[in-house]
Amino acid sequence: MKQTPLVSIIIPTYNRAHLIGETLDSVLAQTYTHWECIVVDDGSTDNTSELLQGYCNKDARFQYHQRPSNRLKGANACRNYGFELSKGEYVNWFDSDDLMFKSKLEKQIKLLHNSKLNFIVCQTLVFENNIKNIIGFRKDKIHSTDFFNDFVTNKIKWLTQAPLIKKKFLLEDNVCFDEDIHQSQERDFFVNVLSKVENYLFDDRPLVYFRKHEDSISNSNFDKIKLYSNFIVNYKIIENHFDFLSFSSIQYLKNCFKHNIRESVLNKNSSTTKRIKKLLFRNNKLFNYSEKLKLNMGVFLLRYTGKGYNLFK
């Protein structure tokens, strides 16, 4: 196969100098060699810059950029900026702590290049500490006959590393990452993608290693942001894709919303509780009057007595 199509590998990073070298080495090891790798730094304070400069000096296919100061901080802005810089016919977003199988691009290009479908997804293996310590698949299933609803309900799942996507499709359908979201951004992105396709290619062979490790951001303020971002991602599904949803998907999302409200009360975050309730209760597609009354009673009891968990079921 002629290696003519250019693949743009786009990697956001922040203070991952101790890990990103392994990621870039896995890119260098690709059997498919016609790629560009665009690393966008979200403002690292470690030695990421020096490390990346070494890779750029060693191989001109690597690029290192700083997130522009006029863009919101976060991986999503870095992903979008990298996409704007990219020149490839195909795009593979990747994370700065995960690894590619050396045949990833070759196998996915071979299947996707002559297909009318717009992207292909592979399986992902989870590892801890080193790739010899394999835990298992990230998710058992990556495709189904009702892939939209099964993705919404987490019966199938993948992350940004697994798909190879035709850039033309992303441009024509104006699909990008929501830069206001700080959690569940991959879910938001791929729900939007799946709402625009009739099907996609999938390969049940694992071609990505996903590194399992503790989240480095753990302060309470970020936890509040994460909670609201999780809520917003699911709320956008209701707002933008309601006609695609099955009854079981709607029930699944309603349970997620109840969990969001309960957690915001337990975290003593009254402002987030009010914001969530305001959005949910104005949407007549979700909760009827008795359900709203039950949730309000649950909020009151949980906040002032520490009881009322059953009202969130």
Q: Give the pLDDT score at 214.
A: 67
What is d(CA 14, CA 122) in angstroms, rounded to the nearest whole number? 26
Q: Give the pLDDT score at 152.
A: 98
Cα dist from 249 to 3, 174, 202, whole Å: 42, 25, 23
Beta bridge partners of 100: 208
Q: Which two tokens stand for residue 131?
A: 């790739």
Q: Which DSSP string corresponds to 120-170? A: EEEEEEEEESEEEEEEEES-S-S--TTHHHHHHTTSS---TTS-EEEHHHH
Cα dist from 44 to 49, 65, 107, 207, whole Å: 8, 11, 33, 28
- Cβ pair 37, 64 in contact under 8 A: no
Which 8-state DSSP code applies to residue 71?
S
Q: Give the pLDDT score at 1.
A: 46
Q: Give the pLDDT score at 218.
A: 36
SS3 203: strand
pLDDT, averaged in runs of 10, over the chain (313 residues): 83 96 98 98 97 97 97 96 98 97 97 96 93 91 97 96 97 95 93 97 96 57 80 95 96 96 92 93 88 93 91 89
Q: Give the pLDDT score at 217.
A: 40
SS3 230: helix
Other C-beta atoms closer than 10 Å to the C-beta of 203 total: 20
Q: Which two tokens stand for residue 296?
A: 């309000």
What is d(CA 40, CA 181) in angstroms, rounded to the nearest whole number? 18
Which 8-state DSSP code applies to residue 65?
E
Q: Give the pLDDT score at 2.
A: 55
Domain 7-211: CATH architecture, name and number where available:
Alpha-Beta Complex (3.90)
Element containing residue 28 per DSSP (H, E) = helix 20-28
Question: Domain extents for the chain?
Answer: 7-211, 220-312
